Amino acid sequence: MIFELLPAILAGFIAGALMEGPVYMQKALGLPVKQNIFRTWGQNLLGVKGDSGYIAGIMFHQVVAVIAAILYALFFQAVGATDNFWLWGLIGGLIHYAIATTVVAKLPSLDPATGVIGAQGVGYKNYGLLDVVTFMSGHLMFGLLTGVLYAAFSSN
């Protein structure tokens, strides 16, 4: 498949918006998920406080998601993918997850229970199994959605 920018941007924007759904759904159900990438990006990394920081975090996350989807689309082209984009997306999601586990360990995230910054560990391992599984499933979901949506939006 030949790389197309607009389908990659659309796929990343949609997949990025949906990938954090499981985190916030679990929080709404009262499950003890600690991770909050929107707060981490906006308030802790960008230094924007309060609700504005949260919104800045959402926007920053969307930009990162679009960039990631562009990289996925370039990956699809590099491997010569012509079908099974759901599977190529999952493979991309695994690669994305492997990279993101180390990135999240370096982010200045605030542990909501202790107030300690940077205590989440690699892939949120210090937050517990629920956070680890949620983090991994979010990245796999992003990859799957990016692959499917990119193929759907592409003219190839």
Helix spans in 20-153 (H): 21-28, 37-39, 50-78, 85-106, 129-153
Q: Could you tell me the residue range of the domain that residue 45 belongs to?
A: 5-153
pLDDT at 119 over 90: no
Cβ(65)–Cβ(12) under 8 Å? yes
What's the confidence (pLDDT) of residue 68?
Answer: 98
Quote the DSSP letter at residue 124: G
Number of domains within the chain: 1
Residue 146: is it exposed, middle or buried by C-beta count within 10 angstroms (0-12/13-18/19+)? buried
Cβ(140)–Cβ(120) under 8 Å? no
Give the distance from CA 86 to its chain's centroid: 16
Cβ(11)–Cβ(66) under 8 Å? no
Hunting for tokens 């590099």 — which residue is that?
A: 78
Average pLDDT over residues 23-45: 89
Q: 42 vs 83, which has greater pLDDT? A: 83
Q: Which residues contact 95 (CB under 8 A, 6 or more apart)?
A: 75
Backbone torsion region of residue 107, taken as left when φ is above 0, otherwise alpha when ψ lies between -120 and 50, otherwise beta: beta
pLDDT for 12-22, tens place per residue? Answer: 999 999 999 99
pLDDT at 121 over 70: yes
Tokens of 103: 């990135």
